[in-house]
Structure 1
Amino acid sequence: MYAVIRTGGKQYKVQEDQVLKVEKLEGTEGSEIEFNDVLLYSDGETLTLGAPQIENASVKAFIVEQGRSKKQLVFKYKRRKGYRKMRGHRQHYTEIRINSISA
């Protein structure tokens, strides 16, 4: 059984007991969250496709961790001009564990 959900402008294929990192969501560690934007649902035999989303379908998960990823370096450089600029960026993320998928 799996489903495709949309959160943070991205789509994720999820299964029960799966742990994944998504864009930052509101909530504290240990709290439950529900995704109602389910685009596709499969129970192994039948495939249900939403147009654009499936009515009365939801994916429940709980928040494992709120964190920040490793630093990504952004380096700008123009040759022969003496121009160099170094910046860093750390993206916020939420790590979730999928509890149940219902359609």
Structure 2
Amino acid sequence: MFAIVKTGGKQYTVKIGDVLKVEKLDVDAGSTVEIKDVLAVATEQDLVLGNPVVENAKVEVEVLEHGRDKKILVFKKKRRKDYKKRYGHRQYFTKIKVKDIKVG
């Protein structure tokens, strides 16, 4: 069984037991959260697609930790104009573990 969920403007394919990094969620580490934006759910028998979300479907996840990703460097330059700009960015993330997928 797997589901496609939407969180933080991105879509993820998840199965029970998966650990993944998503955009930062405003919850405490160790707590349980229900993601209600479930776009599709597949079981062994059938596939349920939402329009846009599947009714009464939830994915229960446990928040493991919060953190910041590796630094990416952004470098901008315009040739022949003496313009150079360099800066870095570290994105906040939340590491979650999928506990259960509920349909109906």
Structure 2 residue aligned with 1:19: 19
**In structure 1, what is the Cα distance between the partners aligned to 2:78 and 2:68?**
30
TM-score, normalised to structure 1, is: 0.95
% identity of equivalent residues: 50
Aligned pairs for 1:19-58 (under 5 A) are 19-58=19-58
Give 5+ residue unaligned stretches, structure 1: none
Structure 2 residue aligned with 1:59: 59
Taking only aligned residues, the RMSD between alpha carbons, in angstroms, comes to: 0.9
Residues 17-51 of structure 1 show CA distances to partners (whole Å, capped at 9, x for unaligned) of 00001111111111111101111011122111111
In the TM superposition, structure 1's runs of 4+ consecutive aligned residues that sit over 4 Å from their partners are none
Structure 1 residue aligned with 2:72: 72
Give 5+ residue unaligned stretches, structure 2: none
Number of aligned pairs?
Answer: 103
1:81 positional shift: 3.0
**In structure 1, what is the Cα distance between the partners aligned to 2:80 and 2:39?**
51
Structure 2 residue aligned with 1:88: 88
TM-score, normalised to structure 2, is: 0.94
**In structure 1, what is the Cα distance between the partners aligned to 2:18 and 2:49?**
21
